[in-house]
Chain A
Amino acid sequence: MTTAAGDNARIVDLAKLSRREANTVLQSYNGTSNSTLIRVLNPAGTHALACGLDAPLAVEIDGHTGYYCAGMNKHANVAVLGNAGQGVAENMMSGRVHVHGNVSQSAAATAHGGLLVVEGNAAARCGISLKGADIVVKGNVGHMSMFMAQAGCLVILGDADEALGDSIYEAAIYVRGRVKSLGADCVEKEIADRHCDQLASLLEASGCSGIDASEFRRFGSARELYNFKQENIGVY
């Protein structure tokens, strides 16, 4: 059930619809070029909201969400006006997910494309196994963030907890605050002009004004774990 709201937004109210019905309404635009604004009311921590979207919709969720919000997102622009539970924007392909509060662990896990912006903090394992998406966290990130990240970028305006970038591949991490410790095979790297450009464009895309790329340090893979080393044969 959708009803036209006064500001041309459509309303999906979870006080009246089941999660499946709500997602069916949102997914009914899949494959279209429809850019309608849809407001989702009374999310009440419901899991798997606004998952599998595949149209340039603007979805605004009015409250806190449960697990896997906006998972597998493609093209859509999803805003959560609250906190998001585990695995927000997991396996996102494109589009944008903007969380106005904090996010729980494994944010943007395995995401291939698109941008996740978190206004607050991200818990553990942010960007785990990232495959090409970009993440901007305006607060702090928890331990083991970017574990085994393969491609894409995590920008942290605050601090990073233990074991940042453990076993990282060709993904990039930019940190403005302190890093408690780096994980295995993650090292600090120099910032070249192209990195500054990448950072500046992500800061702009995420609405961070007045913050200069020079305030950040860059971290990435030492590439020491990519190949088996013959001298370690005795271990096996």
Chain B
Amino acid sequence: MCGIVGLFLKNDQLQRDLGAMFAPMLIEMSDRGPDSAGIAIYRDSSHDANKITVATTLKDVDWDEICDQMYRSTGHQVRSMPNSSHVVLMTDACPDAIADCVAEHDPNAQVMSVGRMMEIYKEVGAPAEIVERFGIAHMKGSHAIGHTRMATESAVTTAGSHPFSTGRDMCLVHNGSLSNHNRLRDKLIRHCGVRFRTENDTEVAANYLSHSMHEGYSLHDALENSIADLDGFYTFVAGTSYGFAALRDPIACKPAVLAETEDYVAFGSEYRALAGLPDIEAARVWEPDPAVVYSWKIQ
């Protein structure tokens, strides 16, 4: 069992309230996934080519000084925005070069996401503490996806937490378990040159989707193709810089509720995650049909 929440704003006026609306949704799903939690938030499109979110084990370090060293080795300015155990690095430098520089200081650092808009914060621990630690409730943005994890398939670690990001500004969260992930992982490694970081089944699905999008499919079409290629139980919610989508497996074992108003689209594993949203009484609330992709794009 895991919990999923998502919030996609259709009304730009609400962007300043994104975190305040989103944080209680995630916390409400704590008992569906008390062992770890993660948040992907789309905000502040960077002027730089890349916004790189890194989970670091370094404490009390001077990121400005590390950024200066990165500048000297890459030739590109790097700005840092430390946030608890994570740091967001903004730069025109190549993300791999930045990751290498970070690794020199912190061999255990993990790149959470690369893109222009998306930041991913995830940790082992109670969802409410994680939301508080990263100050999620104060964040502005256009959309956010969150996950509370009760691990059934691989280890309880930061790397095994959701969301998984395997492409620029792309993320996936998953409630369920895939049964053909080993074979599909092999196929993606052998035929598509995809690299994996964990043994987690959701990372396979994320790589499947990001590879499909790399081939030219939209998020919507990549998810539609996944119905034939992924086997198992799943409710997925995925995000890109321009969109937000949800899909349940054809048997629909894992719960899902969608709500839509003129101002937002909200997803919750259970309705109670949505109950505190503004004007929810007037929203269209429904259970997504099995094997049907629901997607929205920023206009």
CB within 8 Å of B: which residues of A?
44-47, 63-64, 66-67, 83, 85-86, 101-102, 104-105, 123-124, 142-143
Contacts and interface: CB of A to CB of B under 8 A. Distances in A.
Contacts of B275: 44-45, 64
A104 B287 contact: yes
Contacts of A102: 286-287
Nearest to A82: B285
> Is chain B's binding surface mostly helix, strand, loop or mixed?
loop
Interface string B251-273: 11001000000000000001111
B281 interface: yes
A75 to B, nearest CB: 27
- Listed from nearest, the 6 A-B pairs whose CB atoms lie closest are A45-B272, A45-B271, A44-B275, A45-B275, A64-B271, A123-B287
Given A45-B273, A45-B274, A105-B252, 13 more contacts: A44-B272, A45-B275, A64-B275, A64-B285, A66-B270, A66-B271, A67-B270, A83-B285, A85-B270, A102-B286, A124-B251, A124-B290, A143-B251
> Is chain A's binding surface mostly helix, strand, loop or mixed?
loop
Contacts of A66: 270-272
A142 B255 contact: no
B107 interface: no
Contacts of B289: 142
Nearest to A101: B285
24 contacts: A45-B270, A45-B271, A45-B274, A46-B272, A64-B271, A64-B275, A66-B270, A66-B271, A66-B272, A67-B270, A83-B285, A85-B270, A85-B271, A86-B255, A102-B286, A104-B255, A104-B287, A105-B287, A123-B252, A124-B251, A124-B252, A142-B252, A142-B289, A143-B251
A105 B251 CA distance: 11
A45 B289 CA distance: 20
B75 interface: no
Interface string B284-299: 0111011000000000
Contacts of A101: 285
A50 to B, nearest CB: 16
Contacts of B255: 85-86, 104
A71 B251 CA distance: 24
Contacts of A124: 251-252, 290
Nearest to B281: A63
Contacts of A105: 252, 287
A31 B281 CA distance: 35
Nearest to A42: B275
Nearest to B275: A44
Contacts of A83: 271, 285
Interface string B239-260: 0000000000001100100000
Nearest to B250: A143
Interface in B208-222: none
B4 to A, nearest CB: 15
B247 to A, nearest CB: 15
A105 B286 CA distance: 12
Contacts of A45: 270-275
A89 to B, nearest CB: 17
A123 B255 CA distance: 11
B135 interface: no
B276 interface: yes
Contacts of B252: 105, 123-124, 142-143
A137 to B, nearest CB: 14
A40 to B, nearest CB: 14
B194 to A, nearest CB: 33
A64 B290 CA distance: 21
A143 B274 CA distance: 26
Nearest to A105: B252
Contacts of A64: 271, 275, 285
A101 B289 CA distance: 16
B271 to A, nearest CB: 4
Residue of B272, B274, B276 ringed by the most chain A CB atoms within 10 A: B272
Given A44-B276, A64-B275, A142 B290 contact: yes
A35 to B, nearest CB: 29
